[in-house]
Every structure is written in C-alpha cells, then in structure tokens.
Chain A
Amino acid sequence: MSDESKSIWQNVLDFPANVKKSIFRNPLPSSDRGRAATSFSNLFLHIQPVRVTRKALKPSYTMGLGLISLFLFFILTGTGVLLMFYYVPSTTQAYDRMLDLRSSVAFGVILRNMHRWAAHAMVAVVFLHMCRVFFTGSYKTPREFNWNIGVALFLLTLLSSFTGYLLPWDQLAFWAITVGTSIAGYAPFVGKALKFMLLGDTTVGQEALLRFYVLHVVVLPLVLTLFVGVHFWRIRKDGGLAKASEPEVEPVIVVAPVAEPVPVLAAAASASAEPTRRFSLQGLVRGTFVKVDKIDPDTVFSWPNLLIAELFVLLLTIAGVLLVSILFNAPLEKPVNIMHPPNPAKAPWYFLGLQEQVSYSAFWGGIGVPGIELLLLVLLPYFDRGKQGIGRWFARERILANSIFLLFVIVNVILIVIGTFFRGANWQFVSPF
C-alpha cells in the first residue's frame, strides 16, 4: 500500500518530465548521433536532411528566397483564415465588411494590411526565387520536373492573388477582374466558355464574387499546399540544393543488399519464399545522396545550423511584413460602381506588364505571348541539357542562357514600369515626372 502510494507520488513528481518525454522522442541533442536522431525522428524536422552543405546555408547563394515564399504563404494562410471570420462574399456586404475591418474589428486593419502586402510580396519573391534558380543553373538534370512544379507554383501564386483581388468589391477590384477575365475570353476555342464558367454569368457580379471566394480560400490554397509538398519532397529526392562540384549528376538506383537482416524485416524475410532477396528499409534510394561512411566534409548538421538560419529568415519575413503593414494601409477605393470604370482602370502591378501588352493586342498580349513564354519556361530544362555551370551564380559557361533569361526579366519589368507609371487616362502615354 505504502509502496504503491509512493510510486503514485513518484509519478506525480515525474509527470512534467514524462509528458515532455512522450512528446519529444529525443532530449536536446548533445552529440552528433543525437543531432541526426533529432532531425530524423521529428515530423517537422525530417522534411530537412540530417546534414546540409555549408554552401546551402550561405545567404549569398539562395538568398533564402524559397523559404521567404513559404513563410509568406504561412502568413497569408494565418491572416487569411482570420479575415474569413469577418468576411461575407456578397456584393451587398463585402465592401461594408472592409469598412468594418477599419472601424469595429480589433487589429482588422493590420490583418488586412499584412494579408495584402504579403500577397504582393509573395508574387515578387516567388518570381525572384525563379530567377535565382535560373541564374544558378539549378533547374538542370535531375531537377527538370521540380523546376516545372515551381512554374506551376508561380502560376498558382498569381491565381491566388488575382482571385483575392476581387473580394473587397471596390472599384479597383471590379474593373481589374472585368479586364482580367475578358483576357481569358480571348483564349482560342474555350475562351468564351472558360470566362462564363469563371464568372458564373456573362458579367462580373454576385456569382463571380462567390466563385472567386471559393477558389481563393479553398481550392487554390489546397492545390498550392499539395504542390509545395511535392516541391520540397523533390528537392530532397533530387539531391538537395544544386551544388557546383557535384561529380555525379545522373541519378543512379542503388540496391543495397543487406548481410544481416534488420530486425523489422526479419519476420517478413523469413516468410519470403526467396530468402536471398532482402533489402534494407532504405535499400532503394538514389545514389547522389547515399552518404554511408563517406560524409561530405563540407556539410554540417541541420540541427542546429539549418534550423537557426531558417528561424532567422522567418523572423526577418515577419518583421518585414509587419513593418510595411504598420507604415502603409492596403488600398480600398470607392465601392463598385458598374456604370463608371475608373480612368485608367489598372490591374494589380504584377499584371500591368500584361495589361500593357494587351493594350496593343488583346489576343497576342493576353494569351499568345504569355502562352509562348510559359511554354518556353516549361520546356526549358528539357532542351537546355548542358551540365556546365550548375550551382554557381552567372556561370560563364551559361552566358547565353542567362542572357536570354535576363532579357526576358528586363522586358517584363520594363512593361510593368510603363504600365504602372507611364499610363494615364484612356491608357494614354503620360510622364510621371
């Protein structure tokens, strides 16, 4: 009796430690083995490799752009879910709810600001990330498919931003979406049907608002999350960040026979009819990152090196978004007036290059040229097969490819600048000075 009560008392004393032990499998690591185990056995940490190259940690190599995109997506998800609690996708209520965010919702303004600016930032950062990957030649074999996942993520980012643009139901929103969906209507064969299906009507109205809302808060974030998952998975499976001195680029399937069966497999192995065919749990892996007994000397443990770098980027991202959100308010124009388009009616800045093109020809500017550009981006890694200059910024061997891409970037930036600053009423050329 006394023995038992003593053990219960002991359990009470041990309670906090036992809870902690039940949650965290490993104590804070103090040895290399522990650092490896920490990365390996934690759901959130196992996404990362146990060891990373020093180069991957250098801010000047990746600039953390992919990570910033991810954190912006987290911020957008967080603020977006909160904003949903006060938003109604109705043409009669949406705009009033925007005003309510200012007047009667605690932290309403800062939340909307954060959501808006993080969305703008995400479009920019995802694009810059794409530029980084291009200029370091990181899309080459075996990373072709992941490059295309990235292109899809860029499009999904644009679509998310575009669908969100309508939701405040102000003049800016209404006319930007009117113009944007009309561009979709120029697509050959399916254009008209696509536009009708997107709007749920022939013009932008209640149906369009509801459809864009559902796309914005459910469909696109889900697809985006799935693609982000595949993107990260492929980074690992394609051998981590592109390295300059990677001697072996072709993925090699290595089947490692195991001399002594692993206990987990023992039962299964003994049940097998052919005991000679045994594979370790990780027997089928790509050769590029099997590091048994030959650890790259230029690598460090992810715990804590990578983790600290990531936390630093996270803090920087949050600080940046907060700072901008405190300094600048998200725009909200007058409520929708179907009779009077603002003059000029401008799309969000990242579509102004497109709108500038569209002012010359609706089909070629809105469908033809962007379609060709997209096709080139998708096909690029399958036709640029050179193995030179991978993992280095502006490698001399890749001067042609880099020049072409730089031209593509500059042209689009110039178009955006013209559309933003040099276009006035009736889309006439005006000088901002």
Chain B
Amino acid sequence: MAAVKTNEPVEEQMPRRKFLAWLSGVGIAGTTLAGVFSTFAFMKPRATYGQPSRFQIGRPEDFPPGARIAIDTKRVCIVREGNKVAAISTTCTHLGCIVAPSMTGFACPCHGSQFDVDGNVTGGPAPKPLAWFQVTLTPSGDLEVDKDNEIETGTYLSV
C-alpha cells in the first residue's frame, strides 16, 4: 500500500473506506434485524388449527327460559331469561382457567375468583368481568356465537 504514490490528499481515500465500512455495518445490522423480524413473523401463526371463534350452538328452543348451560368445549355459558339469550365467556379473566357455574354465578377453581350471574367480579383476583359475546340468529333459525365480538354486559338477543 505504501508503494502507491499519489499526490492526491489522503482524505480522498478515507471516505471510500469509511463508506464501505459504513455499508458493511448497515448490511450486517440490516441482515440481523431482518432475520429477527422474519423469525418473529414466522413464529406467529397466520392461521390457527384450533376451534373457530364463530360457531352455532343450536336452536333457541334448546335453551328453555331460565337455563344457564355452560358449553365447556366452547368456553361459553348460554343464558336464557324469558325470551332473551346471551353468551357469557367461561374463561376466567385472571389466568384463563374455566369457571364453573355456581349458586351465586361463576367460580374459578384455580385462584378463587368469584363472579355474579352477569359475570361481574365479586371476589378473588380476577381483574375484569367475564366477557359477553355477540349472539345472532342465523337465517336458518340457529343461534350463533361470535367470540371475536365482545359486547357490553347485559346485552341480550331477543328470540
């Protein structure tokens, strides 16, 4: 390198070296970032293989007035009062255990959270009331629960 004799100032060579170093740095950092990002994107599934969050639960006649029927496989409790129907989540808002209908509403076996009949917290560590899901009547006359659609506590569907 010392053999290269040039009259041009030394500064002329430095920017190129600096630029290449900078370019390599950006390249390595970019590759790392892209790698991390794509790994995360890969790990986050686009489609899940679990149950669909929208499902039919039967006809309104299946749920007589006053019924409180917990469908544990779907993790909802279907409540009918008079001609009004609602679906209350049975997934504990504390840590995801399944709450069971009790005399006073719902009780969680894991950490002792208590809920009233509408899912409002009455005791234990649960931070939020149980979710209410939208219930609709399909054209065929079946009740359909949409767990992606949370609605306000106390909102019933009239049937």
Contacts and interface: CB of A to CB of B under 8 A. Distances in A.
Binding partners A and B: yes
Interface of A: 175, 178-179, 181-183, 185, 193, 196-197, 200-203, 205-207, 338-345, 355, 358-363, 365, 425-428
30 contacts: A175-B97, A175-B110, A178-B97, A182-B94, A185-B96, A196-B44, A201-B49, A202-B48, A203-B50, A203-B75, A205-B50, A206-B49, A207-B49, A338-B73, A339-B98, A340-B98, A341-B110, A343-B110, A344-B110, A345-B109, A359-B112, A359-B124, A360-B125, A362-B94, A362-B95, A362-B125, A362-B127, A363-B127, A426-B108, A427-B112
Interface string B100-116: 00000001111110000
B27 to A, nearest CB: 25
B50 A341 contact: no
A117 B98 CA distance: 30
Given A197-B44, A362-B127, A182 B112 contact: no
A341 B111 contact: no
B50 A179 contact: no
A426 B109 contact: yes
A182 B40 contact: no
B111 A338 contact: no
B72 interface: yes
Contacts of A200: 45, 48
Contacts of B72: 338-340
A178 B108 contact: no
Interface string B45-70: 10011100000000000000000000
A425 B109 contact: yes
A193 B8 CA distance: 57
Interface string B80-97: 000000000000001111
Q: Lowest 7 CB-CB distances: which A-B pairs, in order?
A: A339-B72, A343-B109, A182-B95, A427-B112, A182-B96, A426-B112, A359-B111
B14 interface: no
Given A359-B112, A359-B124, A360-B125, 19 more contacts: A175-B97, A178-B96, A179-B95, A179-B110, A193-B44, A201-B48, A203-B96, A205-B49, A205-B50, A207-B48, A207-B50, A338-B72, A338-B98, A339-B73, A341-B98, A345-B97, A359-B125, A362-B127, A426-B108
B109 A344 contact: yes
Contacts of A206: 49
A129 B50 CA distance: 42
B68 to A, nearest CB: 16
Contacts of B112: 359, 426-428
B110 A345 contact: yes
A358 B44 contact: no
A360 B111 CA distance: 9
Contacts of A343: 109-110
Contacts of B108: 426
A7 B43 CA distance: 64
A181 B96 CA distance: 9
B125 A361 contact: yes
A149 B94 CA distance: 33
B127 to A, nearest CB: 6
B44 A183 contact: no
B125 A358 contact: yes
Contacts of A427: 110-112, 124
A202 B40 contact: no
A359 to B, nearest CB: 4
Nearest to A339: B72
Which one of A183, A205, A426 has the greatest number of beta carbons of chain B within 10 Å?
Answer: A426
Contacts of A175: 97, 110
Contacts of A365: 125
A181 B107 CA distance: 21
A9 to B, nearest CB: 61
Nearest to A346: B110
A428 B123 CA distance: 12
Contacts of B96: 178-179, 181-182, 185, 203
A420 to B, nearest CB: 15
Nearest to A425: B109
B12 to A, nearest CB: 26
A205 B51 CA distance: 10
A183 B75 CA distance: 19
Nearest to B95: A182
